[in-house]
Amino acid sequence: MNALWWIISGVVLLVLASSRRVRPDRERLPGDFNFDAYKTREIVQRGVFDKTKWR
């Protein structure tokens, strides 16, 4: 019975700890986010040819 009590207590603590987790704010980026600049920077960093640009 003593071991069962410790197991149940541990499960309860895990459930409480996971439910109290703080969720990050949805609005982290100040102002407008420039997706084109972000995409270009990521493509250049990876050394990938951008095939999505219209010519």
pLDDT of 11: 92
Q: Which of 20, 23, 50, 24 is nearest to 37 (CA)?
A: 50
37-41-43-49 Cα dihedral, nearest 10 degrees: 80
Q: Which of 29, 32, 48 is nearest to 40 (CA)?
A: 48
What is the average pLDDT value for the chain, to the nearest integer? 77
pLDDT of 47: 77
Per-residue pLDDT tens digits for 13-35: 888 877 766 666 555 666 777 88
How would you write the chain as a 3-class SS string?
A: CHHHHHHHHHHHHHHHHHHCCCCCCCCCCCCCCCHHHHHHHHHHHHCCCCCCCCC
